């Protein structure tokens, strides 16, 4: 199964980004990400055997107990690649906990499953962003936007991605609340499961 760890957005941030996506909706070459699927990928794992799930879920809960909630901010838009023909239009994200969480997930996955488990992610530097649209055919760049949107990050998730002709379907396999050191005394539950996006 195709897996990744991600942070999903609250509805008010989804609405603001959906309004921004109207900038490209007039061009058939851009395909917008549906608002309910907008997310920030912390670590892409690619195809993993089902037997890895137990370790990946345990890692998520362990980090959720260690990392406290934090604020994330969306600053403005950019393109991948930045020069030449863009393939992706995205919103840049910042937040003290983003690199911390992404780095801890990388380390934890290597510890639990070995370096091979990072093959899909490769050596790419972590650039926190939310993909707004993908370019499928010739279409112009749109002028940059500035957001200044901030939201509290209180959880992240392990997600299964199924590629289908009409677009990917995301299923949250497990949600991991961020509790930090103060959460260690709280009761540990199994988390929330199985929510399609």
Question: Which sequence positions are flagged as catalytic?
Answer: 39, 129
- Nearest of 3, 48, 37 to residue 158 by alpha carbon: 3
- Rounded to a whole number of angstroms, the CA Rg of the chain reads 17
Catalogue the E-assigned strands of 139-197.
Answer: 146-153, 155-162, 169-177, 195-196
Please state, in angstroms and rounded to a whole number, the distance separating the CA atoms of residues 160 and 195. Answer: 10
Verify cis geometry, omega within 30 degrees of 0, for the bond prior to 81: yes
Q: Residue 85's Cα: distance from chain center in Å?
A: 24
Q: Please give the backbone phi and psi of residue 195, each rounded to the nearest 5 degrees, phi first.
A: -130, 120
Q: Dihedrals φ, ψ of 137, to 5°?
A: -160, 170
User: Do 24 and 83 contact (CB within 8 A), yes or no?
Assistant: no
Whether residue 56 contacts residue 3, with contact meaning beta carbons closer than 8 Å, is answered with yes
């Amino acid at each position: 199964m195709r897996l990744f760890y991600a942070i999903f957005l609250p509805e008010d941030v989804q609405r603001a980004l959906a309004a921004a996506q109207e900038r490209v909706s007039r061009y058939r070459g851009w395909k917008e990400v549906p608002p309910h699927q907008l997310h920030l990928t912390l670590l892409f794992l690619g195809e993993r055997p089902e037997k890895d799930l137990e370790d990946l879920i345990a890692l998520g809960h362990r980090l959720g107990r260690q990392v406290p909630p934090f604020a994330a901010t969306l600053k403005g838009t950019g393109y991948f690649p930045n020069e030449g023909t863009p393939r992706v239009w995205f919103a840049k994200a910042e937040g003290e906990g983003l690199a911390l969480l992404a780095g801890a997930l990388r380390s934890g996955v290597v510890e639990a499953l070995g370096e091979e488990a990072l093959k899909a992610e490769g050596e790419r530097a972590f650039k926190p962003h939310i993909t707004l649209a993908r370019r499928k055919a010739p279409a112009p760049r749109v002028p940059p936007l500035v957001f200044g949107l901030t939201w509290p990050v209180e959880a992240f998730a392990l997600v299964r991605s199924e590629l289908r002709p009409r677009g990917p379907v995301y299923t949250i396999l497990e949600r991991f609340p961020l509790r930090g050191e103060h959460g260690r005394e709280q009761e540990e539950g199994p988390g929330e499961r199985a929510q399609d996006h």
